[in-house]
Amino acid sequence: MTRIVYIDEQAGWQSSVYAALSDKYEMHIPEIIPCNVSDIWAEVRDFQVAIVDFRLNESGQVSYTGDDVAREIHKHNKHLPIFIITSFEDNAILECTETQAIRGKEMFTDPKLLVKLCHMIDSAVSIYDKKKADCEKCIRNCQEKLASGNTLSLQEEADRFDAELYLSELDLDSSARANLINTGTSKELKEMLSLARTIVSNHRKE
């Protein structure tokens, strides 16, 4: 069952969302959200999807918005699916970055719209899981090829780099990220990757 965290400061909507989604998903809805947006990751880290109210600061309980929450989450996992759901859709669409903005909280109360929302959630999770699995498979295949004494083609090297980079971005707190893309080597690795792709592209044109 897909694990979802819902972030909203209003108790009424917390109850409505739980009633709408708890039969299909494992829900976590913190009754009190952190005062500091930097602490929000502790509420999110164990879940596959974050659904966030845009106007979190409307009641005055906190000073940050759903957009701030999305940015904070992506500091830890750059690709975690995030949905911003709000009645103030224009602001959400304009201000939220790297998220899916959903128009209106009636998505939770209208049966037809709820079906659409669930489809969007399921699709986002499926894409996220497939990308992760594909990257893991790519790295595993490259490791097996190297272990058998063969060398990787330029395309395989490029694909492995992309896969390792993507997986590292799913856990930006991990020390593995520092080893893979530290400040001193990131530029060099990207330049090598760009060169490899250019060579492969030119070879295909010949």
Please give the domain boundaries of the chain with CATH numbers for all domains. Answer: 3-109 (3.40.50.2300), 131-205 (no CATH)
Average pLDDT taken over every residue of the chain: 85
Is the Cβ–Cβ distance between 158 and 200 less than 8 Å? yes
Given a contact cutoff of 8 angstroms between Cβ atoms, the answer to whether 100 and 89 are in contact is: no
Tokens of 162: 């992309």
3-class SS at 6? strand
User: What are the start-end ranges of the E strands in 9-123?
Assistant: 26-28, 49-53, 82-86, 100-103
At residue 183, the pLDDT reads: 46
CA distance 193 to 196: 5
Q: Work out the angle at residue 85's Cα, subtended by the Cα atoms of residues 44 and 92, and round it to the nearest 5 degrees.
A: 105
Q: What is the reported pTM? A: 0.80
Q: How confident is the model at residue 184 (pLDDT cuts 50, 70, 90)?
A: very low
Give the HSE-up count for residue 29: Cα atoms under 13 Å, Cβ half-sphere: 22
Q: 76-90, 140-154, 176-190: lowest mean pLDDT where?
A: 176-190
What single-letter amino acid sits at 145?
Answer: K
